[in-house]
Structure 1
Amino acid sequence: MVWAMGQTAEPDAVRDANARCTRGEHPHRAADPRVVAFYDAVTSHYPDRGPGAAEPGSPWAAAPLHAEADHIHMKLDENCADIVLEMIEKYAAQFHLDLLDLQDGSVYRAF
């Protein structure tokens, strides 16, 4: 997952935001431009809608991606190529987003 948090946000703030998402609590505001830019960049390589989402080689285990005003939740196929992970990290860094790995709960900034 990528989150649009403040630059001083602690990892627990990201985990708390994710807990709210899991409960279905999402902010009712305009989408953060960083989230929009990240979504546009990632899906320009790997579409999450339409015919491209189901093509062989798509990294998405679930499509479309869960996109909210402050985050994007990406469920990746277990055979997802490393290049996809590198791309996600690259765009997260470019757009100053926090990364949350749901497998181990780690939070880090790619920027």
Structure 2
Amino acid sequence: MAPSAEPETVRAANERCASGVHPRQPADPRVVAFYDALTSHYPDRGPRVAEPGSPWASAPLHAESDHIHMKLDESCADVVLELIEKYAAQFHLDLLDLQDGSVYRAF
């Protein structure tokens, strides 16, 4: 999605994802870089997922060509949220908070 996407567009894309509709397109390099950076700290596959301190309530993460869907554990440390925001800003990605529907531009 373009960095200038309106919040309604971001929410609509999430609704399509939730219904199982995903675009058939090459992976966005920004999304790939975000996923690689984040999972280098907090793997979503392999034995480290079960270690104490893993932020994932559900793993592996749902990764598509244009988005990553993350379900965080309720006891997730603030440092994880800060890292997610840092990488979203670094790679010019929007964050959608599914709890209240807010769209954040971290950049």
Range class of TM-score, shorter chain = over 0.9
Q: Determine which of 79, 92, 96 is the counterpart of 2:92.
A: 96
Structure 1 segments, 4+ long, off by >4 Å, are: none
The structure showing larger relative contact order (alpha-carbon pairs under 8 Å, at least 6 residues apart) is: 1
| 1:30 CA drift (Å) | 1.1
Give the TM-score normalised by the residue count of structure 2: 0.98
Q: Could you say what secondary structure the match of 1:107 adopts? A: strand
* Unmatched tracts of structure 2, length 5 or more: none
TM-score, normalising length: structure 1? 0.95
How many residue pairs were aligned? Answer: 107
Q: Tell me, what secondary structure is at the counterpart of 2:95?
A: strand
Match of 1:106 in 2: 102
Paired with 2:24 and 2:2, the residues of 1 have a C-alpha distance of 18
Structure 1 gaps, min length 5: none
CA root-mean-square deviation: 0.6
What CA distance in whole angstroms lies between the structure 1 residues aligned with 2:57 and 2:102? 21
Is 2:66 aligned against 1:55?
A: no
The one of 32, 35, 47 aligned to 1:36: 32
* Aligned-pair identity (%): 80
